[in-house]
Amino acid sequence: MTRRILLTAGLALAIAAPALIPGWRTQLSYLLMMIVFALTWDLLGGQMGYNSFGNIVFFGVGMYACAVVQRDLHLSYPATLAIGMAVGAVLAVAVAAILGSGMLGLRGHYFAIGTLGLGIAAGELASGWQFVGAGGGMVPPQYPGARGGRETFFYYLCLGLVIVTFAAMRWLYAGRFGLAINAIRDDEDKAEAMGLWTTRYKTAAWCVSALFLGIAGAILGNISGFIDPRETAFAGSTFGVWMVLMAILGGKGTLWGPVIGAVVFHVMKELFWTYLLGWQRVALGFLIVVIVIFFPVGILGWAREKWPEKFGHLVEETVPAEARG
């Protein structure tokens, strides 16, 4: 009951946020996108045990696909945005399915390094492709509404994506799919020996991540107003790394951990950029070190170890020696 009340209160606060703090609507939209990043990465890195640094590829594919549709399809803005989001999602899933057949045959650090190369290669290809603006980037069409309406529109669009992503992950983890990817994480060889078709589940998990990242890329490209191949679309050194750190910070392999990690990380990052301008990257690097060293199990994992009874874990009481005698 308490959890339901907190969830309802949090949702109500999120819906009312644009009216309560209108000057922070764009920052809040980015925060919501960070939650999508963390949730989608944790599907592979946390639930399945495959640490990917290439998920940024699907984000960039969705961003460019939507921008091209908006540029070349001469319809109203809402129509081109909706079609662009759909095309971006489909292309991102198609890329994940194609790459998954080869990349997901790798394991451990080989898979991590291979996916890192994918993100770098995608950025280089986009920076040399004139159809998408090459190194000069692209400028998506601007939202045609009244002043202030743009920020509110994209905030609620991002909020809707977060809700759908979270609900989809919760549903997947609660069923056979969740058990299968957890079995792959625990011992893939045993899972295969038991008859589990691991390649199918691994590819499906990557496709689910790509679906939501493709939509996120389409939305964020319109929010930013400019698409640079290396700094925005295939920003592996920022978005690509941050999605990993946020999931680890909150507690990977959990449902709420990536959400908590995304909120904490984004708030800290904004504080650094506001109050430590010039030293913000140094502070962010120090934060990364702190996360890796002091929060190896994440905030949620640390809380579970400290207060296990709050999470429904059985705590055995220590019986004094004189009482046992």
Other beta carbons less than 10 A from residue 213's beta carbon: 33
Within 8 A by CB and 6+ apart from 37, the residues are: 55, 59, 213, 216, 239, 242, 243, 246, 262
Residue 313 lies in a domain: no
Write the single-letter amino acid at 28. L
Residue 279 lies in a domain: no
Give the chain's mean pLDDT: 89
CA distance 241 to 245: 6
Within 8 A by CB and 6+ apart from 35, the residues are: 162, 165, 166, 258, 259, 262, 263
Task: Pick the more confident residue, 279 or 208.
Answer: 208
Residue 309 lies in a domain: no
3-state secondary structure 48-103: CCCCCCCCHHHHHHHHHHHHHHHHHCCCCHHHHHHHHHHHHHHHHHHHHHHHHHHH
pLDDT surpassing 70 at residue 36 = yes
Residue 273 lies in a domain: no
CA of 94: how far to CAs of 55, 87, 195, 199, 204, in Å? 13, 10, 26, 16, 11
Tally of structural domains, the chain: 1
Determine which of 145-154, 258-267, 310-319 has the lowest per-residue pLDDT on average.
310-319
Which pLDDT band, with edges at 50, 70 and 90, does 8 fall under?
confident
Tokens read off for 127: 């920076």
Query: Percent of the chain at pLDDT above 70?
Result: 94
Query: Percent of the chain at pLDDT above 90?
Result: 59
pLDDT surpassing 90 at residue 159 = yes
Measured distance between the N- and C-terminal CA atoms of the chain, rounded to whole angstroms: 42
Q: Which domain holds residue 229?
A: 23-235
Is 138 strand, coil or helix? Answer: strand
Residue 258 lies in a domain: no
Q: What does the chain come to in residues?
A: 325
Residue 212 lies in a domain: yes
Residue 82 lies in a domain: yes
CA of 239: how far to CAs of 32, 126, 150, 225, 266, in Å? 13, 17, 23, 17, 11
pLDDT at 285: 83
Residue 125 lies in a domain: yes
Task: Pick the more confident residue, 297 or 49.
Answer: 49
